[in-house]
A = this chain, B = another copy of it.
Amino acid sequence: MPPTPPFQRVHRESTASVITRQLREGIMYGTLAPGTQLTESGLAAEFGVSRGPLREAMQRLVQEGIVRSEPNRGLFVKELDEDEIRDLYTARAAVETAAGRLIIRDDDGSAVTALRQACAAMQSAAETGELAALSDADLHFHEVLVTASGSRRLQRMHQTLMVETRMCLTALQGTYRAPEDQVAEHRRIAEAIAAGDLNELLQAVESHMYEALDRLLSTTEPA
Contact = CB atoms under 8 A, between A and B. Distances in A.
Interface of A: 11-12, 14, 16, 52, 55-56, 59-60, 62-65, 69, 71, 87-88, 90-91, 93-95, 97-99, 101-102, 151-154, 156-157, 161, 198-199, 202
Classify the interface of chain A: helix, strand, loop or mixed: helix
A63 B65 contact: no
Contacts of A14: 69, 71
B153 A91 contact: yes
A157 B71 CA distance: 24
Contacts of A60: 59-60, 62-63
A161 B154 CA distance: 11
Given A71-B12, A156-B65, A151 B90 contact: yes
A14 B153 CA distance: 28
Nearest to A198: B202
Contacts of A98: 90-91, 93-94, 97-98
B94 A16 contact: no
